[in-house]
């Protein structure tokens, strides 16, 4: 039909009715003029004109060309469960995807399937929790079909929010060229707002800027009030709700005045556009014919609301996730988003992916039986695609030191049997559970990497505590002194240097801590803070003569140092537990110099060889908290400290919701293992007063043991007893 138009220098393009005349502009190719005319034709939507002689104009919409599905082979590439999800029709869809069941693979094929059926890629929105995951799925989908799928909108909630806000930010009072600030910049601005808020007399008790930014983030993402957030997460600051609210309000004002947005503002702004501006909501909700959300169980209250608003026109919303792997409540994730999805979308169809390609039947039997004790969940049963393997092992150990010795010896055996170091992981509920193991692996020269953060002695709060001991041992240690003194309110870099210059000029720095001349040289808050700090240091100096390093750490934890931990660090309870474990560890050393010397040596050694004579330069055993291990897998997995009060955490014992989240953590930990799973149970731990305490089995182990006894079912593990 277009050939007559393209073959003539002056042509007519006819659509009957009406007739359109397209005159070729001088010097332009006929094809370019034809395209201009077609684009103009599709872009205009004008009513019939009432002027005499005016032409009748209609909009002619071309149907999208379906992408070629030549690369899609559903029979070959998908199992029956996955195929049902990929080829599901329109409407709301809930996909419960168990661990290791090919969730990402299924989502990729769903995108390719939609495009192959004629859905324009730019009308698909894919929301993930990492941009890397979005790029990987989009690239793989493009490889399956001939259409360029990269035109679809995909990425994290924050990246999509930024894309939308760049167009509509002025509606919210922001410029289009607003600046996104990172966490460090946000803390700098928060510090300025603390000073500007006029609450200086409260500085000794106020949370640090970093904690205030996290507190504000919690209220925005979860929808809870400031008072409730303080009560639930920071009860020791609840009485300061009024000044804290003043600071946070000022912080919000200053950001807007300077055209700044932090990461939370992106989500809040996106939500405001959808709720306060109906035209904007209709525009985007109409544009995206299909919305797909990955890891839906990890969305928070605000993200869940955004998804519902974006799907308010077409209703073609597919959410994919596993409620049994919802383990990030401490970050604001709300597993009710996925559990209550059928209530918000009564016509939603549900699908389950239950064929597991990762773990052996023996491991899945244990995981399935454990998670069934959770009341609030979508029931499912993982089924193994892999062949039979060894039974999981439940190992009874004397204490954390023997636990560390066992894990190291067993790692060496696994390597000798052919398992690579990179395919071995040690998982734990809390970071301090790995203290003895890190030390033992260093001694055994087994290389390891700590995925859950820094090595134990490299953590900031551990270094904060050790700085006191280092200064007591060596009063000439300027670095240790500057670190400890800056922990006190009102003492910044300048004041810290002034105090150090005075002390270092004295014959006995420790004796000069409370020198009146030093106190008189300080002013305001610095003077008050240094008076408290010098008293603490004087007490520690006196105790050092009669007690061991563990008692020094205990005294430190009972002092104002605890306020520093609570005001400076997120999850202060876990940090304090780490410090208590450090005190327990220090109990085996009679002198301060012996303890500090051992820590210094161990901190500087990473271990380059494994004790079977072969070097593995690029291989490391992975040490990780269970939270950081989600989504990963290894051939062999060790789970540490499966004792009551350790895993699950002792704070969960009286709260069903917390206990269910802890059981989900256990479920995630067990399903990281492909072949070998070791459940470690230390029988004894030593308290700070050196009293041995007998530890019962973890409730997650005990409930399965009781079930097996009552129902006459075999245990889902072998019990191993250690002979020393």
The secondary structure element, H or E, covering residue 670 is: helix 656-670
pLDDT at site 453 = 63
pLDDT at site 14 = 34
Domain boundaries of the chain, sorted by first residue: 74-170+266-353, 179-258, 383-455+607-721, 458-604
How far apart CA 30 and CA 4 sit, in angstroms, is 11
Query: Rounded to the nearest 10 degrees, what angle do helices 549-557 and 524-544 cross at?
Result: 150
pLDDT at site 195 = 83
**Position 16 pLDDT exceeds 90:** no
pLDDT at site 478 = 86
State the pLDDT confidence band at 704, using cuts at 50, 70 and 90.
very high
CB atoms within 10 A of CB 140: 17
User: What separation in angstroms does the CA of 118 have from each of 112, 314, 503, 687?
Assistant: 10, 16, 77, 66
100 is in an annotated binding site: yes
27 is in an annotated binding site: no
CB atoms within 10 A of CB 275: 13
Query: What does the mean pLDDT of the chain come to?
Result: 84
Closest CA to 194 of 610, 434, 489: 489
CB atoms within 10 A of CB 355: 17
Q: Cβ neighbours of residue 519 under 8 Å, at least 6 residues apart?
A: 527, 530, 531
CATH 1.10.486.10 fits 458-604, yes or no: yes
pLDDT at site 210 = 85
**Position 19 pLDDT exceeds 70:** no
State the pLDDT confidence band at 70, using cuts at 50, 70 and 90.
low
Tell which CATH classification among 3.40.50.300, 3.10.20.80, 1.25.40.10, 3.40.640.10 matches the domain 74-170+266-353. Answer: 3.40.50.300
**Position 650 pLDDT exceeds 90:** no
| Residues above pLDDT 70, as percent of the chain | 86
On whether the CB atoms of residues 450 and 427 are closer than 8 A, the answer is no
The pLDDT tens digits of the residues spanning 554-571 come to 889 888 888 888 878 877
**Position 9 pLDDT exceeds 50:** no
State the pLDDT confidence band at 45, using cuts at 50, 70 and 90.
very low
Highest mean predicted confidence (pLDDT) among 256-260, 430-434, 634-638 = 634-638
The backbone region for 102, taken as left when phi is positive above 0, alpha when psi lies in -120 to 50, beta otherwise, is left
Q: Which CATH superfamily is domain 383-455+607-721 in?
A: P-loop containing nucleotide triphosphate hydrolases (3.40.50.300)
The pLDDT tens digits of the residues spanning 473-485 come to 888 888 888 888 8
pLDDT at site 58 = 67
How far apart CA 171 and CA 176 sit, in angstroms, is 10
Closest CA to 468 of 570, 362, 582: 582
pLDDT at site 546 = 77
What's the mean pLDDT in 335-349? 95
How far apart CA 607 and CA 440 sit, in angstroms, is 11
Query: What three-state secondary structure class fits 12?
Result: strand
The pLDDT tens digits of the residues spanning 149-207 come to 778 898 899 999 999 999 999 999 998 888 888 888 888 899 889 888 877 555 557 88
The b-or-e profile of 437-448 (16+ CB within 10 A means b, else e) is bbbbbbebebbb
On whether the CB atoms of residues 162 and 131 are closer than 8 A, the answer is no
State the pLDDT confidence band at 82, using cuts at 50, 70 and 90.
very high
By CB atoms closer than 10 A (0-12, 13-18, 19+), residue 246 is middle
**Position 445 pLDDT exceeds 60:** yes
101 is in an annotated binding site: yes
Please state whether beta strands 349-353 and 93-97 pair in parallel, antiparallel, or not at all (unpaired).
Answer: parallel
The b-or-e profile of 484-501 (16+ CB within 10 A means b, else e) is bbebbbbbeeebbeebee
The pLDDT tens digits of the residues spanning 101-125 come to 999 999 999 999 999 899 999 999 9
How far apart CA 698 and CA 647 sit, in angstroms, is 6
The secondary structure element, H or E, covering residue 519 is: helix 516-521
The pLDDT tens digits of the residues spanning 597-609 come to 777 655 543 333 3
528 is in an annotated binding site: no
527 is in an annotated binding site: no
Q: Do 74-170+266-353 and 383-455+607-721 come out as alike in CATH topology?
A: yes
389 is in an annotated binding site: no
State the pLDDT confidence band at 209, using cuts at 50, 70 and 90.
confident
Q: Which residues pair with 638 in a beta bridge?
A: 426, 678
């Amino acid at each position: 039909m277009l050939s007559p138009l393209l073959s003539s220098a002056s042509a007519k393009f006819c659509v009957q009715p009406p007739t359109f005349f397209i005159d070729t502009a001088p010097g332009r190719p006929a094809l370019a003029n034809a395209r201009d005319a077609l684009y103009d034709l599709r872009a205009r939507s004008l009513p019939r004109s009432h002027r005499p002689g005016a032409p009748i104009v209609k909009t002619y919409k071309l149907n999208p060309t379906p992408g070629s599905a030549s690369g899609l082979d559903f029979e070959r590439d998908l199992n029956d469960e996955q195929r049902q999800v990929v080829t599901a029709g329109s409407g709301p869809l809930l996909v419960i995807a168990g661990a290791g069941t090919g969730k990402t693979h299924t989502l990729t094929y769903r995108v390719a399937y939609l495009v192959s059926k004629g859905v324009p890629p730019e009308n698909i929105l894919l929301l993930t929790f990492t941009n890397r995951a979005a790029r990987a799925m989009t690239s793989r989908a493009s490889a399956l079909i001939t259409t360029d799928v990269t035109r679809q909108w995909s990425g994290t909630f924050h990246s999509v929010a930024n894309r939308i806000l760049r167009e509509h930010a002025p509606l919210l009072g922001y410029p289009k060229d607003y600046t996104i600030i990172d966490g460090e910049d946000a803390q700098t601005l928060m510090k300025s707002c603390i000073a500007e808020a006029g609450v200086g007399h409260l500085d000794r008790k106020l949370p640090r800027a970093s904690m205030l930014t996290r507190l504000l983030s919690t209220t925005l993402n979860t929808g809870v009030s400031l008072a409730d957030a303080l009560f639930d997460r920071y009860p020791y600051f609840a009485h300061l709700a009024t000044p804290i609210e003043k600071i946070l309000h000022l912080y919000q004002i200053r950001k807007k005045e300077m055209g700044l947005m932090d990461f939370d503002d992106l989500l809040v702004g996106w939500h405001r556009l959808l709720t306060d501006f109906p035209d904007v909501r209709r525009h985007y909700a109409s544009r995206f014919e299909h919305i797909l959300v990955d890891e839906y169980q990890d969305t928070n209250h605000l993200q869940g609301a955004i998804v519902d608003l974006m799907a308010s026109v077409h209703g073609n919303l597919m959410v994919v996730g596993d409620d049994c792997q919802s383990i990030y409540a401490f970050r604001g994730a709300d597993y009710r988003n996925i559990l209550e999805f059928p209530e918000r979308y009564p016509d939603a169809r549900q699908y389950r992916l239950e064929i597991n390609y990762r773990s052996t039947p023996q491991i899945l039997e244990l995981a399935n039986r454990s998670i069934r004790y959770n009341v609030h969940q979508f029931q499912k049963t993982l089924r193994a695609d892999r062949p039979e393997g060894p039974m999981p092992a439940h190992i009874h150990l004397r204490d954390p030191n023997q636990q560390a010795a066992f894990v190291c010896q067993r790692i060496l055996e696994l390597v000798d049997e052919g398992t690579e170091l990179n395919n071995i992981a040690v998982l734990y509920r809390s970071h301090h559970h790995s203290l003895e193991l890190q030390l033992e692996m260093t001694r055994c020269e087994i290389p390891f990497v700590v995925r859950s953060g820094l090595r134990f002695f490299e953590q900031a709060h551990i270094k904060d505590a050790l700085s006191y001991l280092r200064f007591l041992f060596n009063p000439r240690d300027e670095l240790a002194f500057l670190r400890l003194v800056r922990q006190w309110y009102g003492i910044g870099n300048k004041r810290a240097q002034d105090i150090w210059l005075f002390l270092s000029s004295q014959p006995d720095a420790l004796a000069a801590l409370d020198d009146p001349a030093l106190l008189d040289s300080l002013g305001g808050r610095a003077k008050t803070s240094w008076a408290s700090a010098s008293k603490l240091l004087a007490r520690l100096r006196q105790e050092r003569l009669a007690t061991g390093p563990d008692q020094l750490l205990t005294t430190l934890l009972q002092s104002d140092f605890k306020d520093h931990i609570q005001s400076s660090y997120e999850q202060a309870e876990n940090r304090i537990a780490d410090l208590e474990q450090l005190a327990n560890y220090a109990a085996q050393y009679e002198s301060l110099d012996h303890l500090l010397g051992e820590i210094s040596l161990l901190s500087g050694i990473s271990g380059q060889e494994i004790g079977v004579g072969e070097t593995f330069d690029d291989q490391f055993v992975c040490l990780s908290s269970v939270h950081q291990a989600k989504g990963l897998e290894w051939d062999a997995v060790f789970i540490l400290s499966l004792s009551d009060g350790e895993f699950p955490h002792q704070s969960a014992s009286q709260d069903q919701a917390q206990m269910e989240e802890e059981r989900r953590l256990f479920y995630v930990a067990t399903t990281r293992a492909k072949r070998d799973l070791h459940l470690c149970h230390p029988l004894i731990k030593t308290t700070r007063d050196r009293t041995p305490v007998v530890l019962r089995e973890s409730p997650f182990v005990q409930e399965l043991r009781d079930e097996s006894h009552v129902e006459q079912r075999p245990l889902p593990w072998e019990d191993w007893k250690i002979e020393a």
